[in-house]
Structure 1
Amino acid sequence: MLSTTLLRQLTDQVQELRATVDTQLRPLSSRQLNFKPSATSWSVLECLEHLNRYSRFYNAELAKALHGQNQRYNPHEVGFTWLGRKSYDTVRPDNGQQHKTIKHMNPAGSALGPAVLQEFLEHQEQLLEVLGAAKGANLNRKAVRIEFFRLLKLRVGEALQFVVAHEQRHVQQALRAATAAQSQANAPVLVV
């Protein structure tokens, strides 16, 4: 895919994620935000806290990779390495396989409040700034360390795709948790 097309597509997707969280998840009650559809699933806030933990690392890593880049790099085809393709395929929203998360990225059991939503939205603003800074940069440059094994690096373009796909995957999960919370709240109560 051409770099300009990819960046425009990713920018649109981040704006959509931000709008979804702001309009569909932010208005929920604290009880709904913390509702877990099952004992092993995450609540809305746990899904977003998981993304916040990744954003704290990847937003800074991407900004660092783009800092000082020549902003006159011509539009170019953005490719994948084997590692980049594998990473992206693992987190794609349409990949229905569940994956065990790294312990320090797992928010299960954390005491979370509405500040998680605000932090998520702030991370989206930062990501939009990173995407803006990526215009004119070489997106095929290997410069973004992988969070769980920092000796390995992804290309800038594949790291951007990984981050956005990962966010889409878990925002969809948060929306399912919200739907379950609302269904549970509307369920009839049997009084005997």
Structure 2
Amino acid sequence: MLSTAFIAQLEAQVQELSATAAQQLRPLSSLQLNAKPTPTSWSVLECLEHLNRYSCFYNPALARALQSAPAAAPHQVGFSWLGRKSYDTVKPENVKPQKTIKYMNPVGSQLTGEVVEEFLQHQTQLLELLAAARTVELNRKAVRVEFFRLLKLRLGEALQFVVAHEQRHVQQALRAAQAAQHLAGPAVLVV
């Protein structure tokens, strides 16, 4: 895919994630935000806190990679084996449960609605990073993999990984919100 179309697609996906969080998750009551569909699943806030923890790693890493990336005209975005495998693991269509690293697991954390606001701030930062990525070389290995820092993803791969990971967990948060709809709080339409 041409880099300009690739970035435009990711920007649209991040804008959709932001709108979903603002319109469907932010209005939920504290009880609904913290409700778990099952004892072993995550609540809405746990899903978003997990993403916030990843954003605290990847947003600065992407910013550093973008600062050092050479300028480039529109080009085809390529994917390595590692990039494809990373994406396939987190893409929303992959329904296979994945284990997370202990320090990225928010279970047992004391979470409030501020988690939603932080998530929205991270989305604004990500949109700024994507805007900066429009004119740079996306096929350069530049972003360390969070859980195994000896490996690096190409800049385009890392951007796609981050957005897909967010899509996956926002969908999970929506399922948790839907399960919590019967709890006290304002009515929220979850689609």
- Residue 170 of structure 1, CA deviation: 0.1
Which residue in the other structure is 1:98 paired with? 97
Secondary structure of 1:41's partner? coil
Show the counterpart of 1:67: 67
Alpha-carbon RMSD across the aligned residues, in angstroms, is: 1.1
Asked if residue 149 in structure 1 is aligned to residue 158 in structure 2, the reply is no
Q: Which residue of 2 aligns with 1:11?
A: 11
Query: Residue 99 of structure 1: SS of its match in structure 2?
Result: coil
Counterpart in the other structure of 1:108: 107
State which structure, 1 or 2, has the greater radius of gyration over its C-alpha atoms. 1
Q: Which residue number in structure 2 is paired with residue 170 of structure 1? A: 169
SS across alignment from 1:118: helix
Alpha-carbon distance in structure 1 between the residues aligned to 2:102 and 2:49: 13
Amino acid in the other structure paired with 2:107:
A
Task: Please say if residues 32 and 183 of structure 2, whose CA atoms lie closer than 8 Å, have aligned partners that are also in contact.
Answer: no
Partner of 2:132: 133
Residues 53 and 104 in structure 2, CA contact (< 8 A), matched pair in contact too? yes
Distance in 2, matches of 1:141 and 1:129, equals 19
Gaps of 5+ in 1: 187-192
The TM-score normalised by the length of structure 2 is 0.94
Cα gap change, 1:103 to 1:166, in 2 (>3 Å): same
2: CA distance between counterparts of 1:133 and 1:140? Answer: 15
User: Using the alignment, how far apart are the partners of 2:45 and 2:112 within structure 1?
Assistant: 7
Q: CA deviation at 1:68?
A: 3.9
Secondary structure at the aligned position of 1:67 is classed as helix
Q: Distance in 2 between matches of 1:183 and 1:100?
A: 29
Count of aligned pairs: 185
Q: CA deviation at 1:183?
A: 3.6
**TM-score normalised to the size of structure 1?**
0.94
Query: Which residue of 2 is the match for residue 40 of structure 1?
Result: 40
In structure 2, what is the equivalent of residue 189 of structure 1?
none
Give the conservation status (yes or no) of the 8 Å contact 2:77–2:139. Answer: yes
**Could you tell me the percent identity over the aligned residues?**
70
CA distance in 1, matches of 2:69, 2:81: 24
SS state at 2:135 partner: coil
3-state SS of the aligned residue for 1:94?
coil
Q: Secondary structure at the match of 1:127?
A: helix
